[in-house]
């Protein structure tokens, strides 16, 4: 069972503030890129999901904990793991690291919505099937 997908990110000048430290909102961008790349890795592209299953994914909630600063030119990794898949919600657990040092952690709740009406809908069956091997162990498993 795989439990995390890892995506590399390099910190560019545009990601930092005047002090050369990554601006806080950019951690969310790094996490978004990693989730999108991971879905692409699983052959779950956003366009075909909308066309074939009338489903889009939108962020419902994001909780980020900033532990250490990332700086200009840092080589980072962004991990994506699945905590839970419910009828219309996927809970992602993410972390951003520089080597072995954890810089930020995040819990991102993503909701499936219909592409045609932007109302909550069930996570499409192919997505649920593709996510199963990536689920984190739950207490009692």
- 54 catalytic per annotation: no
| 114 vs 92: CA distance, rounded Å | 20
Q: Other C-beta atoms within 10 Å of 123: how many?
A: 21
| 81 vs 75: CA distance, rounded Å | 20
| 131 vs 100: CA distance, rounded Å | 26
Which one from 15, 17, 54, 141 is the annotated catalytic residue? 17
CB-CB contact of 70 with 28 (8 Å): no
CA end-to-end distance (rounded Å), the chain: 13
CB-CB contact of 91 with 107 (8 Å): yes
Q: Which burial class, exposed, middle or buried, applies to 98 when counting CB atoms under 10 A from its CB (0-12, 13-18, 19+)? A: middle
Residues belonging to the active site: 17
């Amino acid at each position: 069972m795989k439990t995390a997908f890892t995506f590399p990110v390099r910190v560019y000048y545009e990601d930092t503030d005047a002090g050369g430290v990554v601006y806080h909102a950019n951690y969310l961008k790094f996490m978004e890129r990693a989730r999108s790349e991971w879905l692409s890795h699983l052959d779950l592209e956003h366009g075909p999901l909308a066309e074939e299953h009338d489903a889009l994914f939108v962020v419902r909630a994001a909780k980020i904990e900033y532990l250490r600063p990332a700086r200009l030119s840092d080589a980072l990794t962004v991990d994506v793991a699945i905590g839970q898949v419910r009828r219309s919600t996927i809970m992602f657990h993410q972390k951003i690291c520089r080597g072995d040092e954890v810089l930020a952690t995040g819990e991102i709740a993503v909701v499936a919505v219909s592409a045609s009406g932007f109302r909550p809908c069930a996570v499409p069956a192919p997505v649920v099937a593709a996510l199963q091997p990536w689920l984190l162990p739950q207490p009692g498993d």
